[in-house]
Chains A and B, each alone.
Chain A
Amino acid sequence: MHERAVVNGKLVRAYTYMAMVGIVIPLFFALIMSAKLVWPDFWAVSWLQFARLRVFHTNGVIYGWLGLSFMAILHYIVPKMSGRPLLSERLSWVTLFLWILALTVGLGAELAGKIQAVEYAEFPWYADILFALAFVLAGINMLGTIFRSGEKQLYVSAWYFILGFAFTTLNFVMANTISAYAAPGAAGAAITGLWIHNAVGLFITPLGVGIVYYMLPIILKKPIYSHLLSLIGFWTLAFFYPLGGSHHYFFSPIPWWVQILAVPLTAVLFVVVVTVVYNWVMTLKGSWHQVPKSVALMFIVTGIIAYMTTCTQGPFQAFLSVQKVIHFTDWVVAHAHLALLGAFTYFNLGSLIYIWPRVTGRAFYKPSLNWWGYWLITFGFYVFYFAPLTILGVVQGALWQSLTPFAEVIRVSLPMWFMRHLGGWFIYAGLLMIAFNLWKTARAGRPLETPTDEADLHALHAARHA
């Protein structure tokens, strides 16, 4: 079976390009936004107001970049994993069109000051409908392909994809109906907490983790370490992850029993991440020497470290004594970026870099640009973004607790916010290099003579039967 028979390279490329647009624009606005924290009257026009930029950035990155890049990668993985072409390639094009339409309408409305007051679901209702439609169509296409698979066994990635699509469809509808229009006050907060938590936990996490479960064995050309650990990791995620949502509103008027329950239900997530990451690391065992040679692996492995870190932070943050200090501070901002940038953006960039020569049939225009991209993003993020904001979060929390005037807290924050802005430029530069490289490769890369996926496919089969 040849991969060209099942993967539609055109679709993967189209989704990838749109995903790159979906990160290049929101990150440009993020740069302006981070500048505005330091120079609040910089470029002071209504449609670039800080909060409008913030929702453009978060929604753009979640639905535009992560959403579309997941789809790009799934358009490669799912047919190959299922051993058959997509359910309908025409449907894929329609989905892509709808998805972009939803983004354009939703993000445009946000800049025009029509923000729906549910965090991460700020699209107004008409864009919600468009997006839900696009997401359901994508789900039908992907799950339909998996369900009609000719393969004998369902690979672990497929479990995650099915879970993610089914759960997130319902979750998205819940957020945009019940949270936005029906549930009052504390009850609304409990439900919004579920939405926020599960948008990360059961949309981004299962798709991202499923992708890594596929990419690691393929790139390393060896099977996953343990089927049992995969099972434990999956089912604990599916069961426990959706229950801890109210930890986003600790010490709020939400009934106290819900908040108390959220502490152990969040702590148990440590088990999830340890099983999953242990499984990956043991798969990597004996192959670590390969990592520095492949930029795709570098991205994915760095992402795994970030994933481990951010998911360890999570249960730790859910301890009430820690919450007292770090809640509402920049610590949480750093934590969220460690997850969405440090882990999942890295997974997706690594995967796209691995896939790209295989769907264009060309070698990278300049492999060094990928390396530059990797180091710029990593340096910019960890040195100028993650470390300063994490420290700043603790400082802010401690200062507030000691009843320091608000002005002092802002004054202490400003140098760190300036560093964040600088970090943004590094990240942006790195990203532009990779985006440029992808585009240029498809147009002017050296054509490859032999398809390189043959061996990978064998590796996957080996993985399945392990």
Chain B
Amino acid sequence: MKRLEKFQTLFLVAGIGFFLISFIGMGLAPWTTLKGLQPPPGYQPYSELEKEGRTIYMEEGCWHCHTQFVRPVSNEPLYYGPVSSAAEYLYEVPQLFGTRRVGPDLWREGGKRTDDWHYAHLYNPRFTVPWSVMPAFPWLFEKKDGKIVPTRRAKALVAYLQALGRDKRPLMDRQDSLFRATFRVSSPPPRTQELLDRGRTLFMRECSGCHGEKGDGQGKARPFLAPPPKNLTTVHPTLQYTFTVLTLGRPGTSMPNFRQYPDRDRWALAYYVDFLFKNPPIPPEAPQKTSELLALGQQQYDQLCSSCHGPQGLGDGPAAAALKPKPAIFPKLRPSVMHVWNTLKSGVRGTGMVSYASLPDSVRWALAYYVEELTKGKVPPPAQPAPPAPSPAATSKPSARATTKPASNAPAPTPELLARGKQLFAQTCVPCHGINGDGKGPAGAALNPPPADFTDNQWLSGTGKVEEIFQTITDGRPGTAMAPYNFLPEKDRWALAYIVKSFSDPALRKKIP
């Protein structure tokens, strides 16, 4: 009996002993060889919000379908980005390497897509990626005033996703800019029915979530995205331009690149986008396109639009370099007259393109017609470089141009005036200067020089008198994205000046109804 017990104990000891051998040899030993690793430069510990997001990532089991390491084999560096290294995982407890890729690897995901894109995608993946089989996470969102907005949990999760691969972000950005710099468009293959069919298939598979099945920009992801997806039925981009955007994406918007698709597929998509264009008819009440109207359009364009869109609509105005997304290049995007007219009216959410709804209809028609001329490349380049603003052409015009007129007849800040100003500010200035006037508007983030901060009582010209602010609104600030707003009625400009002033003047602020 004694001998027998020993025999049984042998197996018990074996069970414990072999566990210890494996744990020490294959668990602890690698751990000790990893001791002393230093985190790579740029690899910061997670913020509180990102940590919260990581917990949600774990609890929702995201790691069961998304891996978090890029292998040095199977062309993965070409597909996802730089290969993973051990030092990049020092803050990962527990590690989330994952063992199955139902969806793509995420270790280099940070910065590849916009937050907007991620929100739409989390709310329902089919909104941005129609072919996706990922589950929807509507419980990370809530309804506020009829709009679906992300909860803190969704924000945390997206913050975490954007932090993945943060140390390799500068490297990947450099690689991307190198790719962009060396990218040249090839010539399109001949248009065939087969190519067009392929284009339709791909459009439905990859594009219809945002741009809509008809290409009218009314896809399901639209409410989440700023800037919203382009209406492809009212613009008629050149094949080469569509191909370029498909290859490079459109930075500053949620439009990703589709480089993974071979050239032929991207040409197929370009042909399909070309096919989608339905030139919307100009309503009969619109004025005729006359040379006078075009002249007015040119004059207004030079003042209002050319600082971003450039004198010939090539998107190369002085302020363009600072903008993300870049201003439209009219001869490439080829917007229809109605597209320009509607865009002038509504502006484009989340970009530097503000609403010009306060322009008179006739001026907007003039601008729309003039942009059509630019689109067709009918406007010759100026003989010499345009002199710095204010241009001499502008001063000779009859409208309420106030450049030379000293402003001293400021009206009193009545509640009506302030109310009007508040409304105008929200429409016109918020995209750059922000709802709180602190220069932190969604479109302002990318501007250089940055939009002025009105809250600090520091003034770029003068000492913050309402008259000086009025003058800046009227003249704009050459070399920046601040356009002259002299098209606004004088009273409106005064109203705006008071609002701008109010951000650093609490007494005035209290008077705003």
Chain A interface (Cβ within 8 Å of chain B)? 36-38, 40-41, 44, 46, 49-52, 54-55, 113-119, 122, 143, 146-147, 149, 152, 154, 158-159, 162-167, 170-171, 174, 178-194, 196, 198, 202, 238-239, 242-243, 245-246, 248-255, 257-258, 261-262, 324-325, 327-329, 332-333, 397, 400-407, 410-411
Taking a contact as CB atoms closer than 8 A, the residue among A40, A164, A171 that contacts B134 in the complex is A40
Question: In the complex, which residues of chain A have a beta carbon less than 8 angstroms from the beta carbon of B60?
Answer: 49, 51-52, 113, 115
Given A166-B19, A187-B27, A251-B73, 9 new contacts (CB under 8 A): A49-B60, A116-B58, A184-B89, A186-B30, A252-B69, A253-B86, A258-B30, A325-B74, A411-B131
- The reply to whether the CB of B491 lies closer than 8 angstroms to some CB of chain A is no
**Taking CB as reference atom, which chain A residue is nearest B3?**
A152
In contact, A253 and B131 (Cβ under 8 angstroms): no
> Does A249 lie within 8 Å of B131, measured CB to CB?
no
A243/B94 in contact, CB under 8 A: no
Give the distance to chain B from A122, nearest Cβ to Cβ, in Å: 8
Closest to B64 in A: A51
In the bound complex, residues from chain A placing their C-beta under 8 Å from that of B282 are: none
Judged by a CB distance under 8 angstroms, whether B65 is at the interface is yes
CB pair B30 A187 closer than 8 Å: yes
Q: In the bound complex, how far is the Cα of B19 from the Cα of A162, in angstroms?
A: 13
Contacts A117-B63, A252-B69, A328-B100 known; A400 to B79 CB distance under 8 Å?
yes
Interface residues of B in 69-105 (CB under 8 A from A): 69, 71-76, 78-79, 84-86, 88-97, 99-104
CB-based nearest A residue for B102: A37
**Nearest CB in chain A: distance from B203 CB, A:** 12
A167-B16, A181-B93 in contact; A52/B61 too (CB < 8 A)?
yes
On whether the beta carbons of A254 and B30 are closer than 8 Å, the reply is: yes
Given contacts A115-B59, A401-B75, contact A165 B94 (CB under 8 A): no
Chain B residue numbers with a CB within 8 Å of A41 are: 124, 126, 136
A238 touches B93 (CB 8 A): no
A221 to B11, CA, bound (A): 27
Question: Hey, which chain A residues are within 8 Å of B409, CB to CB?
Answer: none
Interface residues of B, CB < 8 Å — how many?
Answer: 77
| Interface status of B34 (Cβ within 8 A of chain A) | yes
Given A113-B59, A189-B95, is A406 in contact with B260 using a C-beta cutoff of 8 Å?
A: yes
Cβ of B287 within 8 Å of any chain A Cβ, yes or no, is no
The complex places the Cα of A187 from the Cα of B129 at a distance, in Å, of: 35
Q: Are B131 and A410 in contact (CB under 8 A)?
A: yes
Residues of A within 8 A of B78 (CB): 403
Most buried by B among A49, A117, A254, A262: A117
Interface string of B126-154 (1 = CB under 8 A from A): 10010111111111000000000000000
Contacts A243-B25, A255-B86 given: A117-B58 contact, CB under 8 Å? yes
Complex: A166 Cα to B8 Cα, angstroms: 12
Are A164 and B15 CB-contacts (below 8 A) given A115-B58, A251-B72, A401-B75? yes
Q: Which of A170, A239, A248, A255 contacts B30 (CB 8 A)?
A: A255
| A-B pairs with beta carbons under 8 A, tally | 251
Question: Which residue of B is nearest A333, CB measured?
Answer: B100
The 8 lowest CB-CB distance pairs between A and B, nearest first, are A51-B61, A185-B89, A166-B15, A242-B22, A117-B58, A187-B31, A251-B71, A328-B101
Chain B contacts with A in 1-57, Cβ cutoff 8 A: 4-5, 7-8, 11-12, 14-16, 18-19, 21-23, 25-27, 29-31, 33-34
* B30 x A180 contact (CB < 8 A): no
Q: Kindly state whether residue B62 has any CB partner on chain A within 8 Å.
A: yes
Query: Within the assembled complex, what's the spacing in Å between the Cα atoms of A147 and B14?
Result: 15
Report 23 cross-chain contacts, Cβ distance below 8 Å, ordered by A residue: A38-B133, A50-B61, A55-B64, A115-B58, A115-B59, A119-B99, A158-B8, A162-B12, A170-B19, A178-B27, A180-B94, A181-B94, A183-B95, A187-B34, A194-B27, A242-B26, A243-B21, A243-B25, A252-B69, A255-B34, A262-B26, A332-B99, A405-B260
Q: Who on chain A is nearest to B95 by CB?
A: A188
Query: Which residue on A lies nearest to B138, using beta carbons?
Result: A44
Check if B438 is an interface residue, CB within 8 A of chain A.
no
Min CB gap B85→A, angstroms: 6
Interface of chain B residues 346 through 371 with chain A (CB within 8 A): none
Determine which of B14, B131, B132, B206 lies in contact with A238 in the assembled complex, contact meaning CB atoms within 8 Å.
Answer: B14
Q: Does B67 count as interface, using CB distance less than 8 angstroms?
A: yes
**Complex interface: chain A residues within 8 A of B23 (CB):** 170, 174, 191, 194
A339 vs B175: C-alpha distance when bound (angstroms): 44
Chain B residues near A (Cβ < 8 Å): 4-5, 7-8, 11-12, 14-16, 18-19, 21-23, 25-27, 29-31, 33-34, 58-65, 67, 69, 71-76, 78-79, 84-86, 88-97, 99-104, 124-126, 129, 131-139, 205-206, 258, 260-261
Collect the chain A residues with CB atoms within 8 Å of residue B65's CB.
50-51
Bound state CA distance, A162 and B103, in angstroms? 41
Given contacts A41-B126, A185-B95, A405-B260, contact A51 B135 (CB under 8 A): yes
CB distance from B433 to the nearest CB of A (A): 40
Considering the complex, give the chain A residue whose CB is closest to the CB of B100: A328
Main secondary structure of the interface of A (DSSP, over half): helix
A146 touches B8 (CB 8 A): yes
Task: Report yes or no: B67 in contact with A328, Cβ–Cβ below 8 A.
Answer: yes
Contact across chains for B93 and A183 when beta carbons are under 8 A apart: yes
Q: Kindly list chain B residues whose C-beta atoms are within 8 Å of the C-beta of A411.
A: 131, 205
CB B483 to nearest CB in A, in angstroms, measures 41
| Given A119-B99, A410-B133: A152 touches B4 (CB 8 Å cut-off) | yes
A242 to B18, CA, bound (A): 7
Rounded to whole angstroms, the CA-CA distance of A242 and B26 in the bound complex is 9
Interface centre among B7, B64, B129, B258 (most CB of A within 10 A): B64
When chains A and B are docked, how far (Å) is the Cα of A135 from the Cα of B131?
A: 44
Q: Would A166 and B12 count as touching, CB distance under 8 A?
A: yes
Q: Is the CB of B99 within 8 A of A328?
A: yes
In the complex, the answer to whether B95 meets A184 with C-beta atoms within 8 Å is yes
Whole-angstrom CA separation of A193 from B79 in the bound complex? 25
In the complex, how many angstroms separate the beta carbon of A163 from the nearest chain B beta carbon? 4
- The residue on B at minimum CB distance from A147 is B8
Q: Please measure, in the bound complex, the distance between the C-alpha atom of A46 and the C-alpha atom of B104, giving whole angstroms.
A: 22
Q: Specify the chain B residue showing the minimal Cβ separation from A188.
A: B95
Out of A46, A167, A410, which one reaches B15, CB within 8 Å? A167
Bound-complex Cα distance A143 to B131 (A): 53
Report the nearest B residue to A109, measured CB to CB.
B59
Partner of B97, one of A152, A252, A404: A252
In the complex, A239 Cα to B94 Cα: how many Å? 28
The answer to whether B4 and A407 touch across the interface, beta carbons within 8 angstroms, is no
Bound CA span A250–B69, Å: 11
Beyond A147-B5, A242-B18, A406-B104, is A190–B26 a contact (Cβ under 8 Å)? yes
A251–B63 CA distance with the chains assembled, in angstroms: 18
With A117-B96, A188-B92 known as contacts, the answer to whether A255 contacts B33 (CB < 8 A) is yes
Partner of A117, one of B25, B30, B94: B94
Report chain A residues within 8 Å CB of B29. Answer: 258
Which B-chain residue is minimally distant from A242 (CB atoms)? B22
**Whole-angstrom distance between the Cβ of A405 and the nearest chain B Cβ:** 4
Distance to closest chain B CB from A39 (angstroms): 9
Of the candidates B7, B22, B85, which one forms a contact with A243 in the assembled complex, judged by CB atoms under 8 Å apart? B22
**C-alpha gap A327/B97 in the complex (Å):** 13
- Min CB gap B134→A, angstroms: 7
How far is it, in angstroms, between the C-alpha of A250 and the C-alpha of B205 when the chains are bound? 33
Contact in complex: A46, B139 (CB < 8 Å):
yes
- Chain B residues whose CB sits within 8 angstroms of the CB of A332 once the complex forms: 99-100
Chain A residues whose C-beta falls within 8 Å of the C-beta of B103 in the assembled complex: 406
A411 to B69, CA, bound (A): 24
Contact: B139 with A194, CB < 8 Å? no
Asked whether, in the complex, the Cβ of B99 is within 8 Å of the Cβ of A324, the reply is no
Chain B residues within 8 Å of A188, by CB = 89, 92-95
The residue of chain B having its C-beta at the shortest distance from the C-beta of A262 within the complex is B26
Flag if B22 contacts A36 (CB, 8 Å): no
In the complex the two chains form, what is the Cα distance from A37 to B8 in whole Å? 48
Select one of B8, B85, B129, B135 contacting A36, CB under 8 A: B135
Q: Using A44-B136, A405-B260 as known contacts, say yes or no to A54 and B5 having CB atoms under 8 A apart.
A: no
Residues of A within 8 A of B34 (CB): 185-187, 255
Contacts of A192 in B (CB 8 A): 94-95, 97
